[in-house]
Structure 1
């Protein structure tokens, strides 16, 4: 959980709380962390650009140049990887969760440093994880110049032991200080262009695994249209960086960029809290969500409050440029479409009835 960049708190959804994730308690914990970290005195003027609640932090390097930084991990999706022995895609998730955040401030991600903590040193497992990191890095156009491996048998316990691990990373990018996408330009009437997700991405897995606990990983329920449960749960997070950068380099004004992670489309509220967002024509919802909703007996609204529901990234552009933006983004991610409109109802997310 990132502590500087989470969306505004919401009440803990019932099913998510029952699975062991209390969002309200998490929000209080974030507040406790930030309350102390805000008091740091570095002995010099702060280099931090004020972007409260955004997806990444930006530090001034010169009067013109900033470094954008973010950090994240794969979360409990790793439990599925451990239990199935399929380790070669979670590195993609690790890269995606970081680079997709950093590009949201208008930055070009340039490098990622990974941190791999393991219960037991295993060269074959590490090589499989590294293959995913390599695939993700190449898709995002970033380098991995270094990282850290920690062997922590006292802290890490696997599913099964001794094959446990945790994987997280930090991403670094560059951005011109006068080109930061702060979200301040988001205004009522702007268009929301959604980019399709590949499924759950790397969020809500505590709830999803509980909901699907009656199934085996090799089962093929009808909602998955021939895929196994393991296939659906381990489908990698989509990397949106090249599409976002192409949009930023075009002449289409970009008012906001939002990575849709845990909390679903409430992530849009990070951009500008003085407006609201009406979701009028959602993107198609992959079958894994219907399966979680059915077997977990999860309320439909709670599904929208926890998961991306088929939309992994949103670009906010002027309404009269939406067609151009859709065409540009669809070239990278087929199925990109306008999904809604910015409203004047501050802090509200409106979904279709």
Structure 2
């Protein structure tokens, strides 16, 4: 879907907030607390960094600046090798419940979500996706016996690979009774890509004051914030079948497949544009715009309109803008930091790939912070601790 930009909060037509459940529903209350998760990530990064010397045994070296970024980069001589592994999360639970309610499998869309989680991270460093591997771990062998669901998963996986012009190398399909719940599946994808030529590397070494921030539209919730979205069902009169817009149920809206952004980044390269930095807007919401460690200020002056399902979630969960934008993508799934003179061309190239885009802000000299001016929201560097 394409959404028009706005200089204020989107005014989507949605059901009024519930009058019977006045309390705010936060991501923490839904079972996801980044204050507990992020310290482990940081500890793992520090331990992992100590292993980089092992590459020297093979004649290679790591690109140190990729530590803490969305993909890891190794210098193998004539080009850089980038890699990533990502888990889908709990979106399969929504697909399972909607299949029960409607009799239709949405696992083709779920497959795209899983691949997007890996590929949209990989391309942030300037890599061209090359090979995807699948990890489909079920709670028992019976899960694979549902032909409609299995065929939808395979077809969707293949289709997403074709969209991204990436080879599906293989995968693993374990039956993990006792670890994965019976009737459920845990989906993940790994992806390997090339930064070739090396000048395509975009780890922020050229990021600086005067750069423009171009935001690419999301298709909906993507695959982050689903724990909150599922918890919210308890408040809805018709559960997943509650309408968020005329003819569009909450469940169907949640299952809109995650946008694949690699066609845009590949088109940018062909047009001679190399982003100075990129951010995949996933967990932590818009705080991800603060991902680069540099002491720079980011000022947002134009907001994309919010997809109806995200406006609905914010209203029904009774979240203020700060909470919503710190959790959900709120209409922006990917950010490009580019030279100001390239910003409008980036918008045009993205639109030519079928993805709406906007010149949304600027990078400025100053303390590390993100100002979303139309909403009066500010986050500092302490609000995103990923290293």
Q: Fold-level match, TM-score > 0.5? A: yes
Report the count of equivalent residues. Answer: 335
1:24 counterpart (6, 28, 35)? 35
2:157 counterpart (107, 113, 133)? 133
2:241 counterpart (195, 201, 219)? 219
Q: CA deviation at 1:114?
A: 0.6
Q: How does 1:291-310 map to 2 (within 5 A)?
A: 291-310=312-331
Q: Distance in 1 between matches of 2:98 and 2:352?
A: 34
Tell me, yes or no, if structure 1 residue 82 matches structure 2 residue 117.
Answer: no
Q: Check whether the contact 1:194–1:339 (CA below 8 A) recurs between aligned residues.
A: yes
Q: Distance in 2 between matches of 1:181 and 1:35?
A: 22
Tell me, yes or no, if structure 1 residue 98 matches structure 2 residue 118.
Answer: yes
**Unmatched 5+ residue regions in structure 1?**
1-12
Q: Distance in 2 between matches of 1:227 and 1:43?
A: 51
Alpha carbons of structure 1 residues 43 and 312: separation in structure 2 relative to 1, 3 Å: closer
Deviations 1:227-248 (A, max 9, x none): 1111111110000101111112
Q: How does 1:104-253 map to 2 (within 5 A)?
A: 104-121=124-141, 122-123=144-145, 124=147, 125-157=149-181, 162-176=182-196, 177-215=198-236, 216-217=238-239, 219-221=241-243, 223-253=244-274
Q: Per chain length, whose mean CA-contact separation is higher, i.e. which structure has more relative contact order (CA < 8 Å, sep 6+)?
A: 2
Q: Distance in 2 between matches of 1:208 and 1:278?
A: 29
Q: TM-score, normalised by structure 1?
A: 0.89
Q: Distance in 2 between matches of 1:287 and 1:193?
A: 22
Residue range with higher mean Cα deviation, 108-117 or 121-130 = 121-130
1:60 counterpart (75, 81, 93)? 75
Q: Distance in 2 between matches of 1:72 and 1:308?
A: 18
Q: Check whether the contact 1:110–1:174 (CA below 8 A) recurs between aligned residues.
A: yes
Runs of 4+ in 1 over 3 A off after TM superposition: 43-46
Q: TM-score, normalised by structure 2?
A: 0.82
Root-mean-square deviation (CA, aligned residues, Å) is 1.9
- Residue 342 (structure 1) aligns with: 363
- Residue 289 (structure 1) aligns with: 310
SS of residue matched to 1:167: strand
Deviations 1:156-195 (A, max 9, x none): 11xxxx3110000100101133431111211112111111
Q: CA deviation at 1:256?
A: 1.5
Q: Check whether the contact 2:55–2:62 (CA below 8 A) recurs between aligned residues.
A: no
